[in-house]
Amino acid sequence: MKEVINSAKEKMNKSFNALNNEFAAIRAGRANPAVLDKVMVDYYGAPTPVNQMAAISVSEARILVIQPWDKSSLKLIEKAILASDVGITPTNDGSAIRLVFPQLTEERRKELCKTIKKYGEECKVTVRSVRRDTIEKFKTMKKNSEITEDDMKNCEKKVQELTDKFCDDVDKAVAAKEKEIMTV
């Protein structure tokens, strides 16, 4: 029984971590190297993440500087950023690429908040489906006489508490990200 609950906790945790990764990739008007995590460069025929090809640093609050270790890959990185959904046009000065993050408009901030809420809701749906699957496992165990009725009720209660905890964590993460986005 403990293994089943731990497995459920692990799956819920993975879902929550995935949500945090999604949030990190959303740009909030401030320069954040995480926006480049999903950008892949076709480097010698192999898709390579930008952060494995270059030093990425924040030079000012809204400027990200990408300095490739191999200067010949500068054009490839620039092309990959243009092709990605980052939404910022890179500036190439021959030795580094600069991404200047524009201030977000009120309309764009509201759009981002809707997206954040959608991601949060998707995460909660995943957490609840893990709860449903786990409770089904307990019912099957009960049917096969592996556990008693009381054990099943206790396990269901523990899984529900776990679900509530993760849903609260998701709500807090969504609220924190919304606050970050709406702060001018």
CATH (domain of 75): 3.30.1360.40
Q: Which of 68, 100, 132 is the last residue of a domain?
A: 100
Query: Residue 184 — pLDDT band, cuts 50, 70, 90?
Result: low
Q: Which of 65, 100, 135 is the last residue of a domain?
A: 100
> Distance (Å, rounded) from C-alpha 30 to C-alpha 27?
7
Write out pLDDT tens, residues 96-110.
999 888 787 888 888
Torsion, Cα 176 121 85 73, to 10 degrees, reads 70
- Indicate the range of 2-11, 90-99, 103-112, 164-173 predicted with least confidence: 103-112
Does 111 lie in the same domain as 84?
A: no
In terms of residue numbers, what domain contains 140?
2-25+105-182
Does 37 lie in the same domain as 11?
A: no
